[in-house]
Amino acid sequence: KDGSKVTTVVATPGQGPDRPQEVSYTDTKVIGNGSFGVVYQAKLCETNEFVAIKKVLQDKRFKNRELQIMRKLEHCNIVKLKYFFYSSGDKKDEVYLNLVLEYIPE
C-alpha cells in the first residue's frame, strides 16, 4: 500500500527560531480539496501523532499571508502550525507551500 511509505523533508518549525530540521511522516492520504490546494492527513514518525498537511501553490510574486499569520498565532481555538516546507510541482517552475498543521478529527 502506497500510504505506508515514509517521506522525509527539511521543515521549519511553525513557531520559534527558523531552525529547519528533518521531519518524517507516513500514512499519507487526501482528506480535502479546495480551490487553493489539497489537504492530506499524515502521521509524524517521531511522535506518531496525526497532522494535516495543507499543500498550496505558491505565487512567487506574493509572500504567503496565511503562513505569516499562522506563524504569529497561538490560540486554543486555532489549529497550530507545527512546521512548514516547500516542495516542487509537476511543472518546472511550480513551488508548493506545505503547512503541517495540528490534525482535528471531524
Q: Are 100 and 51 spatial neighbours (Cβ–Cβ below 8 Å)?
A: yes
Which pLDDT belongs to residue 2? Answer: 53
Domains of the chain: 2-102 (3.30.200.20)
- DSSP-based three-state secondary structure for 3: helix
Element (H, E) at 54: strand 50-57
- Nearest in space to 96 (alpha carbons), one of 105, 84, 83, 87: 87
**24 conformational bin, left if phi > 0, alpha if psi -120 to 50, beta if neither:** beta
At residue 1 the predicted structure's pLDDT band, cuts being 50, 70 and 90, is very low
Write out pLDDT tens, residues 7-40. Answer: 999 999 999 889 999 999 999 999 999 888 999 9
63 assigned binding-site residue: no
Question: For 79-98, what is the mean pLDDT?
Answer: 92
Look up the pTM and report it. Answer: 0.90
